[in-house]
Amino acid sequence: MLAIVAGWLLLGVAGLFALHRLRFVARILFPAGGLLGVALLVAAAAALPASPETVVLPIGLPSLPFHFRLDSLSAFFILTIGGAAAGVSAFAAGYFREGEGTPPGLLCLQYHVFLASMVLVVLADDAYAFMVLWETMALSSFFLVTTNHRIAEIRRAGYLYLLIAHIGAIGILLCFGVLQADSGDYTFAGMRAQHLSPFWASMAFLLALFGFGAKAGILPLHVWLPEAHPAAPSPVSALMSGVMLKTAIYGFLRISYDLLDAQIWWWGVLTLAIGLATALFGVVFSAVQVDMKRLLAYSSIENIGLLFAGIGLAILFSAFGMKPMAALALTAALYHVVSHAFFKSLLFVGTGAVLHATSERSLGKLGGLIRYMPWVAWASLIGVLASAGLPPLGGFVSEWLLLQSFLFAPQLPNSYLNMLVPAAAALIALIAALAGYTMVKFFGVIFLGQPREEKLSQAHDAGGWERIGMVWLAAGSVLLGLLPVQVIRLIDPVTQQLVQAGLGSVAGQSNWLLVPVAVERASYGPAIFFSGVALGSVLAFAFVKALYHGKTRRSAPWDCGYPWQTPRMQDTAEGFGQPIRQIFEPLFRMRRELPRANDLAPKYRVTVEDHFWHWLYEPVAVVVEHAARVIGRLQQGRIAVYLLYSFLTLIGMLIWVTV
Amino acid sequence: MSLSSVACQVLEIVAALALAPLLSGWVNQCRAWLQNKSAPSLLQPYRALHKLFNKDSVLADRASSMLRASPYIVFGCMVLACAIIPTLSTELPLSAVADGIALVGLFALARVFISLAAMDVGTAFGTLGARREMLIGFLAEPALLMVLFTASLVSQSTSLTTIVETLAQRDLAIYPSLALAAVAFTIVSLAENARVPVDNPATHLELTMIHEALILEYSGRHLGLLEWAASLKLYAYSAIGLALFFPWGVARAASPFALLLALPVLVLKLAIVGFLLALLETLSAKMRIFRVPEFLATAFLLAVMAMLTRILLGS
């Protein structure tokens, strides 16, 4: 495992020696990185059921070596990283071009350091190594986000990302401080041995929720996602959204399930509530976006919310000792981790291909691309269906498992929770349906209809490497959808490790039927399901063909007989979002400019913003700026004054020492 | 999986394919009677299908394969939906493949494909219809799911056959949770099947149409398949309603005698449902499209209340 990571780092260093040789970097180094990703996937799958291995590497400070440990939980996340990275690397081989800010060789170094640090974060077994690698991950991704650093907006987005990543890192650092419980032992093994009082355990949990939540993008720390994702090059957005957010999920699971020895029920309620709020917020905002990458960024916020909701439910169940149900909810969350990694990476690289072919990111200027870019369109369709949570693809399995676990909530021994938790299931259903709305808008506006701009008819399809990457990711999404039993057998060791229960034994009874509890209770067989729909369609086709003549004629579109149609008469992205804007109006901060009846040059403009910017971030920014100005007065620029400060500090410390 | 249960499954699908246009024809006939019009023949939908299949299919010159593939996919989805809902017997091998949640997902899959197909040509009405269809869908889908959840809390199962078996064994009494769920389900099925007061299947009134706007660019065999799929959807929704709220009369075993009894019972139940639907459509007026979200939100809230009633009161 470490050898593969070292291989990634070597590829990065090799890129440094070929700073401007794009051909070499793109044709040799990135595909090699992709192959290492596949190797990592295989190695992690093999390591999943094995017992934990530890290794101590003498790097870093003399008395503080790096501890690494490979157990089922880390192996599962490494599997996710490897699988998604393989596809994204293959796509990146065809994606990066000359003249995009950072030279290709340096980009290759940053990219592979980013990949390696994500794997190592997941492997880290002491707080020191974890924090160092966590920061490496944040910094390398910051440089990747600001690849086009000549554009001011991109620098601004990168800065915002770095800021929130560091606020989160402070939370994580403090959390480790609480977890070591005054023992001075910062290894995870030492933390596991500690027994914290409920108060300190809750403190550690809240700090972890805050710290990892900032990285994952839960409410109200989500603001960096819609800024950073559009700014970054598409393969980088794919990795950040599909994979990097998952390292935060990993950290949260590691602390709340592994390092803290018991759970308190209100942690679960809190996580569930925050998760649901985040998911609803994300999906509603994603439905009104007009920039395709911002739309996907908000959709990532939604998916992170669903993950936190699943984990919250699992914590709730395990706090009441209902282990099989906790395992069910946790399996749903982990399933969503890997399926989201595949379909969101796929959608992001799809937008990358569209961006290269058209140099447009705004939905209002795209359209009809299915005729010019069929590969990208059909691959994206798979991602869209998976993201909308439709059977028989990957997104539906996790949604199905999550809803099944919500149906066990009435068995909770607390009567208030009994009542509230099923209401949460209603919200999940609403969120899933809204995700479908958003995804139809995404796919329909970009790929269907008429081109909204003249130049779109010159759009070219993705190249060979890009196709390989997209087909890999699409195949992953399809297999995750069709073979849930096999995937759940992989997840089983992880839930066994975390909650000492798993679905493997029940789910493993049949290869084609996913049975989480008992066949009378619920079952789902996606492969047969898919064959059923396919058989129905094919038989319908065959019968119509056999019994009737089946002639087809081409002519102008009908559209109720109106012949003078232009592309501008299609629904726009704004128009498609209009019902959502109307129904969920209180959630938005909206400004509208409507034309008057006698305007000669009528203008219609609507801007939709986040309440959090206005009510949370701007006041904080004002306070910080004010404080900085007050403290700035200390900086006089005269040496005498600074000497005075030193003198006063010295006096103060002497007094403190003597008293 | 025995031979007789496979026979049951096949019979169930054949019954759906054959009875679905008849149900649409019956609803049209009842509505015409109630509105003092002379009614079309009961077999009119079959004739219309035959005519459509015999015609050339005229496609827009810029249509992609999305437009051509969607009718078949939608039709396939509806056939599978009809196959997993127990109407004649609960001995259905395919029912284990998809439970209530997957059934909702199946309807959503069909809806997404028909909406994408409507956006394919890029005409004003197609995209408008797609937007409205998805709007109705995202409000109706969670409501339908909550209705199914209420029933599955009663039967401790999301499997449709288990739900029918459990509900059919209960005493004949009005359960508050199921009554609320029935109201919610009625609203949802009116909206999902493009019926008055949400949509009017009988008109081409341009600014109000939803379902007709979606299929405006279709003709010939593609339109025929979509019309058939629409009547299958009406049949499927009627079957869900019957399965949840009037589950009596569905054969428990795969014996020929039980099936022989179940078929006339089903036809009778469908006839009553069809008449009630026509009555509802005649009594209500079409509402403005902006009012539809409120109408469907009512259904959603009713369904959630039904579920809470079940959890809190156990009734």
DSSP A2-58: HHHHHHHHHHHHHHHHTTT-HHHIIIIIHHHHHHHHHHHHHHHHHHSSSPPEEEEE-
Token readout for A165 is 């990543």
Start-end of H helices in A411-558: 415-447, 464-482, 484-499, 504-507, 526-547
CA distances A347 to A269, A296, A301, A457, B224, Å, are 32, 8, 15, 22, 34
Look at the block and give the residue holding tokens 């994206």. A380
* Mean pLDDT confidence for A583-598: 84
Query: Which H or E element spans position A172?
Result: helix A152-179
Instruction: Determine, for residues B60 and A557 on separate chains, whether the beta-carbon distance falls below 8 Å.
Output: yes
**ipTM of this predicted structure:** 0.94
What whole-number percentage of chain A has pLDDT above 90? 47
Instruction: Determine, for residues A449 and B307 on separate chains, whether the beta-carbon distance falls below 8 Å.
Output: no
| Mutation choice for A interface testing from B80, B103, B114, B207 by most A CBs within 10 A | B80
Interface A:B, Cβ pairs < 8 A: 268
B91 to chain A, any CB pair closer than 8 A? The answer is: no
Chain B residues within an 8 Å CB radius of A556? 60-61
Q: What is the pLDDT of residue A477?
A: 94
- Expressed in percent and rounded to 5, the helix, strand and coil fractions of chain A are 70, 5, 25
| Mutation choice for A interface testing from B12, B54, B95, B97 by most A CBs within 10 A | B97
Chain B residues within an 8 Å CB radius of A445? 119
Residue pLDDT, tens place only, B109-132: 999 999 999 999 988 888 888 999
Nearest to A268 by CA among A306, A304, A308: A308
Is the predicted pLDDT of residue A100 greater than 70, yes or no? no
* Mean pLDDT confidence for A618-623: 89
Mean pLDDT of chain A: 89
Sign of the dihedral defined by the CA atoms of residues B203, B204, B208, B209, in that order? positive
Contact, B83 vs B92, CB < 8 A? Answer: yes
Q: Which of A367, A400, A419 is nearest residue B102 as measured by Cβ atoms?
A: A400
Instruction: Determine, for residues B61 and A555 on separate chains, whether the beta-carbon distance falls below 8 Å.
Output: yes
Nearest to B63 by CA among A458, A370, A379: A370
Instruction: Determine, for residues A444 and B77 on separate chains, whether the beta-carbon distance falls below 8 Å.
Output: no
Q: How confident is the model at residue A167 (pLDDT cuts 50, 70, 90)?
A: very high
Residue pLDDT, tens place only, A174-200: 999 999 888 888 889 888 888 888 899
Instruction: Determine, for residues B308 and A556 on separate chains, whether the beta-carbon distance falls below 8 Å.
Output: no
Contact, A173 vs A134, CB < 8 A? Answer: no
Nearest to A540 by CA among B215, B63, B227: B227
* Mean pLDDT confidence for A251-261: 90
The secondary structure of B33-99 as a DSSP string is: HHTT-PPPPTTHHHHHHHHHHHSPEEEETT--HHHHHHHHHHHHHHHHHHHHS-SSBS--GGGGT--
- Cβ-in-10-Å burial (0-12, 13-18, 19+) of B2 comes to exposed
Residue pLDDT, tens place only, B3-57: 888 888 999 999 999 999 999 999 999 999 999 999 999 999 999 999 999 998 9
Q: What is the pLDDT of residue B205?
A: 64
Is the predicted pLDDT of residue A507 greater than 70, yes or no? no
| DSSP for residue A606 | E
Instruction: Determine, for residues B221 and A541 on separate chains, whether the beta-carbon distance falls below 8 Å.
Output: no
Alpha carbon B66 to chain centroid distance? 23
Q: Using CB atoms and an 8 Å cut-off, which of residues 121-140 of chain B contact chain A?
A: 121-128, 130-131, 134-135, 137-139
Q: Which of B122, B220, B221 is nearest residue A367 as measured by Cβ atoms?
A: B122
Start-end of H helices in A194-291: 198-216, 225-231, 234-239, 245-253, 265-288
| Mutation choice for B interface testing from A363, A541, A571 by most B CBs within 10 A | A571
| DSSP for residue A617 | I
CA–CA min distance A175, chain B (Å): 38
* Mean pLDDT confidence for A149-163: 89
Nearest to B201 by CA among B243, B240, B230, B158: B230
Q: Which residue of B has its CA nearest to A571?
A: B127
Q: Using CB atoms and an 8 Å cut-off, which of residues 254-293 of chain B contact chain A?
A: 290, 293
B192 to chain A, any CB pair closer than 8 A? The answer is: no
Residue pLDDT, tens place only, B218-252: 998 999 999 999 999 999 999 999 999 888 888 77
Q: How confident is the model at residue B279 (pLDDT cuts 50, 70, 90)?
A: very high
Q: Which of A440, A523, A558 is nearest residue B134 as measured by Cβ atoms?
A: A440
Chain B residues within an 8 Å CB radius of A584? none
* Mean pLDDT confidence for A401-417: 86
CA–CA min distance A579, chain B (Å): 7
Measure the CA–CA gap between A252 and A270, rounded to whole angstroms: 14
Measure the CA–CA gap between B110 and B94, rounded to whole angstroms: 19
The model's pTM: 0.93
- In this structure, chain A runs to a length of 659
Query: Which H or E element spans position A609?
Result: strand A605-610
Q: Which of B105, B119, B220 is nearest residue A444 as measured by Cβ atoms?
A: B119
Start-end of H helices in chain B: 3-34, 44-54, 65-84, 100-120, 124-155, 160-168, 176-192, 211-214, 220-245, 256-283, 292-313
Is the predicted pLDDT of residue B277 greater than 90, yes or no? yes
Please report how the helices A573-583 and B292-313 are oriented relative to each other, as an axis angle in degrees rounded to 10. Answer: 50
Is the predicted pLDDT of residue A20 greater than 80, yes or no? no
Q: Which of B73, B119, B221 is nearest residue A448 as measured by Cβ atoms?
A: B119
Chain A residues within an 8 Å CB radius of B142? 426, 429-430, 432-433
Q: How confident is the model at residue B85 (pLDDT cuts 50, 70, 90)?
A: very high
Instruction: Determine, for residues A391 and B58 on separate chains, whether the beta-carbon distance falls below 8 Å.
Output: no
Q: How confident is the model at residue A245 (pLDDT cuts 50, 70, 90)?
A: very high
Instruction: Determine, for residues A396 and B105 on separate chains, whether the beta-carbon distance falls below 8 Å.
Output: yes
Of A12-16, B75-79, B229-233, give the lowest mean pLDDT range: A12-16
Q: What is the pLDDT of residue A58?
A: 83
